[in-house]
Chain A
Amino acid sequence: MNISRRQMLILMPAAAVAWKAVLAGTPEQSPNYKMSDHWWGMLIDIPKCIGCGNCVRACATENDVPDGYFRTWVERYHVSDEDMTNPEVISPDGGKEGFPVAAEDDKKYFFVPKMCNHCTDSPCTQVCPVGATFVSPDGVVLIDQKYCLGCAYCVQACPYGCRYINPQKETAEKCTLCYHRITQGLTTACCEACPTGARQLVDLKDPKDPIHEFLKTHSVQVLKPQMATGAKAFYNGLDGSVR
């Protein structure tokens, strides 16, 4: 292949521009998305949850979660009014295929969907020795899959048990709050699949988000508030027996 001097002079800057584009790497988000404009969280409305397991299946499909591991799961509580501190909790396969039919008795039943609480002061990010997990500027706790060593410190540190080590990749994984969806203006896969609206993605920095009115008018609680994690998974109608 012969290249004349003229061709070379045209090709060189073109190659430089192309190389520059390669060096620039992946664009951070879709162009209209500004991280500083958002502070994401989740509203979980316990009285609305029917334990169908749609969220668990949707999450597994959307995020390629291996079988037997969960980024979100549903627990069924069975609590007697006399012994609130010892609830009977089941979560067969994370509630993926629903729950066995429960017979009416003198105890109360309810479902509690669980997931990463996307804590503002998350214990899991504080223990990471290599800076592989972090709270993003828009309030989502994420894991850098290239930096994670799989030491599992974070798996132990999470007070809510929301992390696991992926058996194939041998790195820590967790709910990303469907970061690839929320940055494109979509809701999370679990919220998309929830038939009763028991889960709602909320943006605490959006003044028009109905979450502000909801938090003002409802008794909303986070899990393990005594741990001061700044959890952003808000539970409406949370029973005191939930751990």
Chain B
Amino acid sequence: MSGVTVACDPSHIRPYLEARTFRGKECFRSHWNQSQDLPAFSKRRSGFIMSKFKDAGHLFRFAGLFVLLFVVFLVVRHFVVPKSFGKYGHYRADAIGEIAAHPAKYAGHETCEACHSDVLDKKSKGKHAHVNCEACHGALVKVLPAPPPPTPNVYERMVALVIKPMPQDPPVLRHADDPSSVVPELPDTTVLCARCHTASAAKPKGFPQVVPADHSNGMACKTCHDPHSPAMDAGGAK
């Protein structure tokens, strides 16, 4: 600090300090004698507010603009936010219905069993009792009626102008839709059975497995086994 010259003379600060002290005393005194100063003080204060409000037109105009914008926001929001948004949570509740409207392609074993009770009887006594029809026969699509188009709101119409909806494939009728005219293709048992029953160390030990080449030498499995009740000892063999 030795090289630094102190340019500040305490005498420069003194008048300021005194002034502050003086004002502080004045302030203290005015609060102390509040009862007697209050009317004059409050009069002065309200006069100040009123005088300011005389020129406050721009504030009201601004507030008006604010209210107008808020109303515009509410109107836009009303059209842009779908009706069902927020019904169950922060999402569009109608989406649930749209997802549920997806057409099913697996008819379900109950549909098959309604007609093929003979197969069900045979199957339920055999080893494949728990294997559903379409696990082997593939999807026997059940075409559901096309859902009506969802409500186009302003937002959706705007989006549709830019993004064209994806063209949908025409539904393919399969056996479950038209049992009399559409006959499903019979699966090739050499491929089908091998998919599950080919021996592999990765499969559970109790699961029946064979090495197809050794077991049948390329012969179709259904030559000997009935796929609906495959065990040889259960009377299911052909």
Q: Which residues of A contact B (CB under 8 A)?
A: 22-30, 35, 47-54, 58, 61-63, 76, 78, 98-99, 101-105, 109-111, 131-137, 142-147, 168-169, 176, 178-181, 183-184, 186-187, 189, 192-197
Complex-state Cα separation, A101 to B207, whole angstroms: 15
Asked if residues B88 and A62 are in contact (CB atoms below 8 Å), the reply is: no
Collect the chain B residues with CB atoms within 8 Å of residue A132's CB: 91
Complex-state Cα separation, A50 to B97, whole angstroms: 35
Collect the chain B residues with CB atoms within 8 Å of residue A48's CB: 204
Complex-state Cα separation, A181 to B144, whole angstroms: 11
Asked if residues B196 and A50 are in contact (CB atoms below 8 Å), the reply is: yes
Complex-state Cα separation, A166 to B204, whole angstroms: 35
Complex-state Cα separation, A110 to B182, whole angstroms: 40
Interface centre among A23, A47, A78, A131 (most CB of B within 10 A): A131
Q: Return the contact of A23 from the options B105, B151, B198, B199 (Cβ within 8 A).
A: B151
Asked if residues B202 and A53 are in contact (CB atoms below 8 Å), the reply is: no
Q: What's the nearest-Cβ distance from chain B to residue A95, in Å?
A: 11
Within 8 A of A (CB), among B88-121: 88-106, 108-109
**Interface pairs A-B: 5 shortest CB-CB:** A144-B95, A109-B202, A134-B91, A180-B102, A102-B202
Collect the chain B residues with CB atoms within 8 Å of residue A168's CB: 166
Place the interface of chain B in its size category.
35 or more
Asked if residues A109 and B150 are in contact (CB atoms below 8 Å), the reply is: no
Other 7 A-B pairs with CB < 8 A, given A143-B95, A180-B99: A25-B150, A27-B97, A53-B195, A62-B105, A142-B95, A192-B108, A195-B196
Asked if residues A58 and B195 are in contact (CB atoms below 8 Å), the reply is: no
Asked if residues B135 and A192 are in contact (CB atoms below 8 Å), the reply is: yes
Complex-state Cα separation, A30 to B160, whole angstroms: 28
Asked if residues A180 and B150 are in contact (CB atoms below 8 Å), the reply is: no
Q: What's the nearest-Cβ distance from chain B to residue A26, in Å?
A: 4
Asked if residues B100 and A58 are in contact (CB atoms below 8 Å), the reply is: no
Interface centre among B91, B102, B103, B203 (most CB of A within 10 A): B91
Collect the chain A residues with CB atoms within 8 Å of residue B96's CB: 28-29, 35, 136, 142, 179
Complex-state Cα separation, A166 to B150, whole angstroms: 22
Complex-state Cα separation, A184 to B105, whole angstroms: 13
Complex-state Cα separation, A30 to B150, whole angstroms: 16
Complex-state Cα separation, A194 to B204, whole angstroms: 15
Complex-state Cα separation, A128 to B104, whole angstroms: 28
Asked if residues A101 and B95 are in contact (CB atoms below 8 Å), the reply is: no
Asked if residues A136 and B104 are in contact (CB atoms below 8 Å), the reply is: no
**Any A CB within 8 A of the CB of B3:** no
Collect the chain A residues with CB atoms within 8 Å of residue B130's CB: 195-197
